[in-house]
Structure formats: C-alpha cells, structure tokens
Amino acid sequence: MGETWIQREFLTPRRLVFNVLFYGTHIFLFAYGWHSQATNPKLAGLNSLKFSVWISRGAGLVLAFDGGLILVPMLRNIIRVIRPKLTWLFPADENIWFHRQVAYSMAFWSMVHTTAHYVNFINVERTQIRKEYALQIHYTQPGGITGHFMLLIMVLMYSTAHQKIRKQCFEAFWYTHHLAFFFMLGLYTHATGCFVRDTAEPDYISTFPFYSTKHCLGYLSWRFTIWPGIIYFGERVWREIRARRATRLSKVLVHPSGAMELRIVKPSFKYTAGQWLFIQIPELSRFQWHPFTITSAPEDPYVSVHIRQVGDFTQALGSRLGVGPAVVAAMTSAAMKGAEKDSKTGMTRGDFVELDPAVTSITLPHVRIDGPYGAPAEDVFNSEVAILVGAGIGVTPFASILKHIWYRQKKGKLGSLRRVEFFWVCRDAPSFGWFQSLLQEVEAAQADPNFLRINVYLTQKIGEDMLWNIAVNDAGAEYDPLTLLRSRTMFGRPDWKSIFSTLRQSIESGQYLPGSTSQLKTKVATYFCGPGVIAKALKEACVENTNSSVEFSFAKEHF
C-alpha cells in the first residue's frame, strides 16, 4: 500500500481539488433537487410521500448530471484536440480514470434513486394518491421500464468492465460496453412517462416530446444530457468514415524476437511522436479495434506498429501471416544462438524476415487504422532535458519519440531540447529484440555522445550461466553483451531518487548543460510509460528534486 486512503484522496492537492469539486457538485445537485421538489407547491401531491420522493428527485438530478458526464471523457477526438491547451487545467490523459469515477458515482446514486423509488411506489399504492398498483409504475410506465432496463445494462456493463474480465476477454468487455447505446436511450427517455406532474393523469400531447411541459414537471434534463451523446455518436461515425479512407499494409517485418512490425501506408493519417492508434483487421474480426503504440516517427513515409504475439488477436494475426507462435519460437531460439556467436563481432541478433507481397507469394490482409490518439510525450521539445523512462512493454512509445528526436536532430530543429536521458527498465531484454535494434540505430547515429544517454536496467534474476556469460563477454568488449549497445546494462532496479538528485546537482553545477547557468530555470521533463509502482517512485523523485533552479515535471502515459 505505502500510502493511506486519506493521504491519497485528501493530502494530494490536485486530487483534493478534484474530490471537492466532483463530489461537492454531486452533493449540491442532490440538495438542490431535494429542495426544488420539497418546496414546489405544484407538487404538493407528490410531496405527501415525504422523504422518499425528495431523495429520489435529488438523486435523479445527480444521475442526470452523471449521465451527461459519462460520455464526455470518451470523446477521444475532441480530447486529442483540446488536450495540449488544457494540460494545466486537468489531466486529460486520465480520461478513462474520470470515466470510471463518474461510473462509480452513477452506481451509488442509482442505488439511492432506485431505493427511494421502491419506497415511493409502494406508498403510492398504499395511499392511492394515484389510482394504480406499485407494479404498474414499475413495469408498465416508461420511467419504471427504462429504469429497470438501465439497471440490468449497468450490471452487465460494470461486471464485464472489471479489470480481470477486460484482461482475459477484451471482447466481452468491448461488445457489452456497446449496450451503452441502449442505456443512453433509456436515460433520455426515462422521464417521458411524466411521473413528476401536478395533475392526476399524465398530460400527453401529440407532438414532440409527447408530454406537456406545463404539467410534466421533470427536470427536462435530456435537453442537456443528450448533447454529449449526440457528439459521441457523431464521433463514432466520424471514426468509421476516417477508418475507411485508403489504407494499405505495405510490409510486415518479423523480428527475431517474434514481434511483427506492420508498416502501413495511409496518406490521410497525421500524427505526432508518442501517440497511439486503433487497428482493425477485418479478416480476423470485423468489429474489433485494438490499440497499439505507433513506433514510427512522423517523418517516416509509413506508419508502423510493433505487435508481439501475446493475446489471441495478435496470435491469430501471426498465423494469418504465416508466422504463428511455433515459427516465432524457432526464430527466437535461432536468434539467441546466433547472438552468442555474433556478440563478439558486434553483430545484431539475427535479422528480421521481411514479408513483402511483391517478393513472396503471401498476401497481406487488409487493415484499417483509426487515430491517432494523444499521449503526453508529444511535448518533449519544450524542455531542456528530457528523461524518458520506459518499463517493460511500456517502452514502445519511446521508439517513436527517439526516432523523432533523431530526425529532428538531423535537421537541427531540436527546440529547447539539449539532452535526452533514456531509461529502459525491463525484466528480460532479449524479448524486446526489435527495440534493441532500433536503439542500436539511434545510438550509432549519435554525433554528440552526450546528447542521448541510454540506460538499460535489467531487473530479472540472473542465473549462474548468464552471470559467467556477462563476466566473460563484458570485460573489454565494445558492446554490451546483452543488449549489444555501447551503453552498459545495469542490473537491479534503478534508484530514482539518487539518479534524479545526481542529475540536479550536475545541472546546478553547470556540468550537465554547459552554458545553462544564464537561464533562470532549467526544465527537466520526465515521461514515463509502465506500471504504477515505478510511476509513483518517479513522481516522488521529481517532486523532491524540484527547486528554484531546476524544475522536474512528470507525465505518465496510459494504455
């Protein structure tokens, strides 16, 4: 755990502000809904139900608010556009997190609302303020029907959205979550039954919205909450149109470690380094979109993604291309053998196999891509020093960023960026062979040895054989025996606090960035992608080492 709930929720300023605003708004709306119901003389009849009707109306207003809010964080394209302008205001990259907070709140208030209505309806039946059964309200009137349907949809959506289910069967989550369409329809039509009224019978009219707003005194909240729904729907349509634009899979490179590099040509696709996209292969699945990080730089003539065969989709793709898991295993072991022979001469670990339809007889499947979507590492060039930390598979966005930096370096357009520190923390380097080869290219191309520093940390436990291998091969070799880079591999977990404080001291003393003393403040931007534990440690190190002359900032990327 490390930190307590109180520390996390209340002692972190940003989170505190969020909590106060978010839950404050909810409580305010609840109180307002309660008050406006309880003091409305027109609703005296309903108010004879007392607390239960006040609670249900208050919770109803809160739910309308949440229903309007729930889709906002999912407006991916709009978020991508506004994110760069609003990073100071809210962490737009945390959109899924926000979506979840709204959902949790929605679940809670649904419970309040439903409970209150169960009491309302039984009291209507007992007191006969309206001449009907409780179950008639529940199961024959629009409010009751849509309400029960929305609850059922919520059970299905929430349960399949659990992290565990999402991981083992993304499809179950993905398809079930599209029930949201019916959920939203239910939400917008929930009040069409004119339950809140000052007349004995509902006052229906023949024109839209089919009830008279003179006597039906609901919140008419659908007038507001429908907009995010319409915009979201429009966005989905737009994504579909955009995905249909000419796209061609030009090449597939299979790297010895088993990663497939898909090179896709899509002229209409514009992106910046560090972003990600959704990919669809209609041959494998007509509806599924899978997210992958873009590994090519914007300057490249193609868009590439590196795909490891780990899940069923990626394995199916491998089989489709004739490089199923078995083939890859053979390739990997061959490459590992080759590595032992070649490492003394500084050669790479086996070569990739190119699947080019022009040369070989295989056909490549059609692909469709959708994106790009944002990631915080886009703004690398605004700071003097960039610290890029990739952990495990989280290293992928940095392939694009490093390539991009390299292109910009060649053109001499680095902005204020002076130095790049790249950290790669991983359990076993060989499984990321493709990334090694990329790092090798970038490292070899460095004219200024100080510009880019690559630090590889290997956290796996080392067996005796490997220890000897390292001891024998490492001494005096020009390249590191494990990664085949000039930079040495370090073992164990990095100690971020000492790394950051060393960095700060060398910046302060002027060794790190010669001539930087004239500047008022040196900006060091940290970008991280990987598991939360490291993120926390990095963030602490950033906060601890920020002072008047050096400013460390921190950004984390999500998948």
Partner 1 sequence: MGNLIWHEYSRFVSITANVYAVWAAFFGLFYRKFFWDFVGGTLRDPGGLQPSPNAAIFITLIVKIPIIQILSMMLGLFILAIELPLPAIKQFSIYRSLMVRVVLLLFQVFLAILFYQGTNAAIWSLIAAGCYGRAIMLGETMAEAKQNRGRKGEA
Identify whether the C-beta of residue 71 lies closer than 8 Å to the C-beta of residue 246. no
CB of 91: closest distance to partner 1 in angstroms? Answer: 28
Return the residues of window 536-555 that contact partner 1 according to CB under 8 A. Answer: none
Q: What angle do CA 332, 334, 335 make, to 5 degrees?
A: 65
| Range in contact with partner 1 (rule: CB under 8 A) among 117-125, 291-299, 334-342, 407-415 | 117-125
For residue 409, the minimal CB distance to partner 1 (Å) is 41
Q: Please state the closest distance from residue 192 (CB atom) to partner 1, in A.
A: 21
Give residue 542's identity as a one-letter amino acid code. C
The helix or strand, by DSSP H or E, that contains position 263, with its residue range, turns out to be: strand 260-265
Q: Are 221 and 64 in contact (CB under 8 A)?
A: yes
Q: Which stretch binds partner 1 (CB under 8 A): 66-74, 118-126, 220-228, 253-261?
A: 118-126
Residue 97 in tokens: 């997190």
Structural contact between residues 556 and 529, judged by C-beta atoms closer than 8 angstroms: yes
Residue closer to partner 1, measured from CB, 212 or 315: 315
What the block records as the tokens of 117 is 């209505």
Stretch in the footprint of partner 1 (CB under 8 A) among 119-127, 210-218, 268-276, 401-409: 119-127
State yes or no: residue 122 binds partner 1 (CB under 8 A): yes
Using CB under 8 A as the binding rule, whether residue 460 contacts partner 1 is answered as: no
Spatial separation of the C-alpha atoms in residues 415 and 122, rounded to whole Å: 69
Of 118, 181, 407, 559, which lies in the binding site for partner 1, with binding defined by CB under 8 A?
118
**Binder to partner 1 among 15, 35, 50, 162 (CB under 8 A)?**
162
List the beta bridge partners of residue 455.
423
Closest CA to 524 of 506, 15, 537: 506
Part of the chain binding partner 1 (CB under 8 A), chosen from 116-124, 331-339, 353-361, 427-435: 116-124
Place of tokens 């940003």: 14
The string over 527-541, giving b where at least 16 C-beta atoms fall within 10 Å of a residue's C-beta and e elsewhere, is: bbbbeeebbebbbeb
From the list 206, 165, 194, 176, the residue with the least C-alpha distance to 46 is: 194
Minimum distance from residue 398 beta carbon to partner 1 (Å): 27
Q: Is residue 207 within the footprint of partner 1 (CB under 8 A)?
A: no
Q: How far is the CB of 113 from partner 1 (least distance, A)?
A: 13
Among 159, 213, 382, 547, binds partner 1 (CB under 8 A): 159
Subset of residues 368 to 397 that bind partner 1, contact rule: CB under 8 A: none
| Strand order from edge to edge, sheet including 419-426 | 489-491, 452-458, 419-426, 385-391, 522-529, 550-557
With contacts defined by CB under 8 A, name the span among 163-171, 366-374, 428-436, 509-517 that binds partner 1: 163-171
CB 143 within 8 A of CB 193: yes
Burial of 449 (0-12, 13-18, 19+ CB in 10 A): exposed
Q: Which is nearer to partner 1, 147 or 193 (CB)?
A: 147
- The two tokens of residue 364 are 């490549």
Six token digits for residue 438: 């990329």
- Is 111 a binder of partner 1 (CB under 8 A)? yes
Which residue type occupies 434? W
By CB under 8 A, residue 428 contacts partner 1: no
Does residue 172 interact with partner 1 by CB under 8 A?
Answer: yes
Question: Bridge partners of 357?
Answer: none
**Rounded to 5 degrees, what are φ and ψ at 92?**
-65, -15
User: Which residue has 């929720």 as its token pair?
Assistant: 9
126 touches partner 1 by CB under 8 A: yes
Order across the sheet with 248-254: list the strands: 303-307, 260-265, 248-254, 353-355
Pick out residues in 268-327 that bind partner 1 (CB under 8 A).
284-285, 288, 312-313, 316
x/- site string to partner 1, residues 59 to 78, per CB under 8 A?
A: --------------------
Among 200, 251, 193, 242, residue whose Cα is nearest residue 218: 193
The answer to whether residue 166 forms part of the interface with partner 1 (CB under 8 A) is no
Piece of 132-140, 185-193, 239-247, 474-482 that binds partner 1 (CB under 8 A): 132-140
Supply the minimum distance, in Å, between the C-beta of residue 454 and partner 1: 29
Q: Which is nearer to partner 1, 38 or 107 (CB)?
A: 107
Q: Which stretch binds partner 1 (CB under 8 A): 153-161, 321-329, 441-449, 547-555?
A: 153-161
Other Cβ atoms less than 10 A from the Cβ of 231: the count is 16
133 binds partner 1 (CB under 8 A): yes
Binding-site size for partner 1 (CB under 8 A) equals 37
Tell me: does residue 431 bind partner 1 (CB under 8 A). no
| Residue among 16, 135, 334, 462 that touches partner 1 (CB under 8 A) | 135
Cβ at position 260, least distance to partner 1 in Å = 18
Cα 397 to Cα 527: distance, rounded to the nearest angstrom? 10
Q: How many residues does the chain have?
A: 559
140 binds partner 1 (CB under 8 A): no
**Which spans of this chain sit near partner 1 (rule: CB under 8 A)?**
111, 115, 118-119, 122, 125-128, 131-135, 138, 148, 151-152, 155, 158-160, 162, 164-165, 168-172, 284-285, 288, 312-313, 316, 461
